[in-house]
């Protein structure tokens, strides 16, 4: 293989710079792949274009494992759309509101509902937000707090579940990077082992509970709560608002949520156990399991919609297809990410980086560096998935080459991308959380930023420590630290529990 030296760093650097500048992942990845093809073919634009299409894109699509991932993603998209249209998730969230009698219970119920709607990050806020808005107002809790809870349970729970769209997407990136690095472990096994190292996601979910327990807020969130209490004190008109979900469509059955999810999870658990008992659990077994489970759950959802809502099966099929179509953009990112991985492999980028890093940076610091880099890219682009696509293809081979903690490095890629997405004002989940809570977007961004930065700082310090002491149990210590930080700041500079004991009669 030719030695391209520092020139091999051009495609990933160009991709990162363009992603930050243009905020367009498709354009950034395309230019990055094209620049790599230009180097490989001797700087002939025509030949480089042929290389990009024939040797990168077409080859990656033709790889058996890749087309299986694409097919699985389509099945997941179809199921999510069916479940959203059926109203089953809204029925679940509505049921949760029946047990609310205090501010703490309201916040915890919103958090628990967000955890339960784990199959879609974008639908989370739009399903739960409208249902909890009148409850939060009745209990004198500001809408910024609802937006924070919605945003803190959308992506953080999705990234921890291997068997949804997030998991399938991440496993696709991991599998290609592992092949390029000469590793043979299955992507599912890797992703499961990485879960304890997803420090930011775990800490973000825990932080919501810690704030609920404390009953206090500080920083911009505290000021937002004070403004809300002052407005409510001067507002003598009764709250006549109702959840949009309740006013726009008739009540739906909880079975439309429970039965499809039970079939989905039951088939996933059963089929994986069966494959493991008769054969080695390979990646193709995981993908076939997910495809069968999501297709079966979709059929069950369509049948229940026909039985209880008189929705024709043909209409459900069209809904499923529309849901599958929503995955086209994600599939494009995947294909380009695979192509970029192919280019940097042929250029020897990982070897060049490992030489530079090995001589100047302690490999134990690599996860923390990757976390920061991922956060920067994600904040600028507003896309955690785009950040994963850029960094995963680079971080894994470099971690292998310099002997850095591999699972920890992958966790840093995921945590950095998620942290940046959580704090970015142009992130889709951040925008949707504002919409779901009916909160001014700038207010949501400013109030959430302090809480996310506090959690992100603890996550960064955890990655620093884990680089030298590689143990998944560090997350336990980090959660303890975060709890005491929230408790200390709440006691010193926070407000409350001014609304913590507010009661509402749901009779």
Q: Which of 417, 409, 410 is nearest to 364 (CA)?
A: 409
What confidence tens digit (pLDDT) does each residue in 124-158 have?
Answer: 777 788 778 888 888 888 899 999 999 999 889 98
Are the C-beta atoms of residues 197 and 472 closer than 8 Å to each other?
yes
pLDDT at 358: 59
Cα(271)–Cα(496) distance, integer angstroms: 49
Q: State residue 217 phi and psi, 5-degree precision.
A: -135, 160
Cα distance between residue 140 and residue 137, in whole Å: 5
pTM of the full structure: 0.81
DSSP 498: T
The neighbour count for residue 449, using CB atoms within 10 Å, is 18
The CA–CA distances, whole Å, from 241 to 33, 133, 189, 232, 234 equal 51, 9, 47, 15, 18
pLDDT tens-place string over residues 261-295: 899 889 988 988 888 888 777 778 888 888 999 89
- Only one residue has tokens 């030298």, namely 468
Give domain limits for the chain: 6-234+252-493
221 token code pair: 């969130």
10-residue averages of pLDDT along the chain (507 residues): 78 85 85 92 92 91 86 87 81 74 87 82 75 82 92 91 87 89 88 94 95 87 86 59 46 80 88 83 83 92 90 92 87 87 84 70 90 89 85 89 92 94 85 86 90 94 92 90 88 59 39
Q: What pLDDT shows up at residue 245? A: 43
Give residue 406's pLDDT.
94
**DSSP letters spanning 79-126:** HHHHHHHHTHHHHHHHHHGGG--BHHHHHHHHHHHHHH-TT-HHHHHH
Question: Which residue reads 């494959």 in tokens?
Answer: 275
pLDDT in tens, 169-214: 999 899 988 988 888 888 889 999 999 999 999 999 999 999 999 8
Distance CA 94, CA 163 (A): 25
Which residue, among 427, 419, 506, 490, has the nearest Cα to 225 in the 3D structure? 490
318: part of which helix (H) or strand (E)? helix 313-325
pLDDT of residue 1: 52
Displacement of CA 247 from its chain's centroid (Å): 30
Of 172, 168, 132, give the one whose Cα is nearest residue 149. Answer: 132
Give the position of tokens 């507003």. Answer: 382
Q: Is the peptide bond before 497 cis (omega within 30 degrees of 0)?
A: yes
- Torsion (CA) 177, 182, 183, 188 in degrees, nearest 10: 30
- Give residue for tokens 């509902």: 113
CB 114 within 8 A of CB 156: no
Note the pLDDT of residue 279. Answer: 73
The torsion angles phi and psi of 237, rounded to 5 degrees, stand at -80, 140
The closest alpha carbon to 284, from 35, 498, 72, belongs to 72
In residues, how long is the chain?
507
Token pair listed for 505: 């009669």
| Residue in this structure with the two tokens 């696709």, named with its chain if needed | 172
The number of helix segments (H) and strand segments (E) in the chain equals 25, 0
* pLDDT for 416: 94
User: Is the CA virtual torsion 218, 219, 223, 225 positive or negative?
Assistant: negative
Q: Report the SS3 class of residue 198.
A: coil
Phi first, then psi: what are they for 494, rounded to 5°? -90, 170
């Amino acid at each position: 293989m030719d030695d391209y030296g520092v020139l091999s760093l051009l495609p990933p650097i160009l991709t990162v710079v363009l992603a930050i500048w243009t905020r367009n992942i498709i354009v950034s990845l395309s230019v990055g792949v094209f620049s790599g093809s230009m180097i490989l073919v001797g700087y002939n634009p025509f030949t480089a274009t042929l290389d990009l299409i024939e040797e990168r894109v077409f080859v990656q699509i033709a790889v058996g494992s890749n087309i299986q991932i694409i097919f699985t993603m389509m099945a997941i998209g179809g199921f999510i759309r069916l479940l959203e249209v059926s109203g089953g998730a809204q029925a679940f969230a509505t049921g949760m509101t029946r047990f609310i009698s205090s501010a703490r219970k309201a916040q915890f119920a919103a958090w628990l509902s967000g955890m339960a709607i784990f199959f879609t990050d974008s639908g989370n806020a739009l399903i739960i937000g409208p249902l909890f808005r009148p409850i939060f107002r009745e209990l004198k809790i500001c809408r910024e707090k609802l937006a924070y809870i919605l945003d803190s349970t959308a992506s953080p729970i999705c990234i921890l579940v291997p068997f949804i769209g997030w998991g399938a997407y991440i496993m696709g990136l991991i599998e290609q990077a592992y092949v390029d690095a000469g590793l043979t472990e299955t992507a599912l096994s890797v992703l499961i082992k990485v879960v304890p190292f997803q420090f930011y996601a775990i800490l973000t979910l825990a932080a919501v509970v810690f704030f609920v327990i404390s009953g206090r807020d500080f920083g911009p969130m505290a000021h937002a709560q004070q403004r809300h209490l002052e407005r409510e004190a001067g507002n003598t008109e009764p709250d006549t608002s109702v959840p949009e979900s309740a006013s726009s469509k008739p009540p739906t059955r909880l079975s439309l949520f429970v039965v499809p999810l039970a079939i989905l999870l039951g088939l996933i658990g059963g089929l994986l156990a069966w494959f493991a008992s008769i054969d080695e659990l390979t990646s193709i077994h995981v993908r076939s399991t997910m495809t069968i489970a999501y297709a079966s759950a979709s059929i069950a959802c369509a049948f229940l919609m026909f039985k209880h809502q008189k929705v024709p099966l043909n209409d459900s099929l069209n809904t499923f297809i529309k849901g599958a179509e929503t995955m086209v953009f994600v599939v494009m990112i995947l294909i380009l990410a695979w192509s970029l991985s192919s280019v940097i492999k042929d250029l020897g980028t990982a070897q060049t980086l490992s030489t530079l890093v090995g001589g100047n940076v302690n490999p134990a610091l690599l996860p923390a560096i990757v976390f920061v880099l991922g956060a920067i890219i994600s904040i600028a682009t507003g896309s955690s998935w785009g950040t994963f696509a850029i960094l995963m293809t680079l971080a894994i081979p470099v971690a292998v080459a310099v002997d850095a903690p591999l699972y920890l490095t992958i966790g840093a890629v995921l945590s950095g991308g998620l942290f940046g997405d959580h704090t970015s004002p142009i992130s889709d989940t951040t925008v949707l959380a504002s919409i779901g809570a009916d909160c001014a977007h700038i207010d949501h961004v400013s109030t959430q930023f302090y809480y996310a930065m506090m959690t992100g700082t603890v996550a960064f310090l955890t990655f620093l420590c884990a680089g030298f002491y590689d143990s998944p149990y560090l997350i336990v210590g980090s959660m303890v630290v975060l709890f005491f930080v929230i408790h200390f700041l709440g006691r010193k500079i926070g407000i409350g529990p001014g609304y913590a004991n507010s009661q509402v009669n749901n009779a």
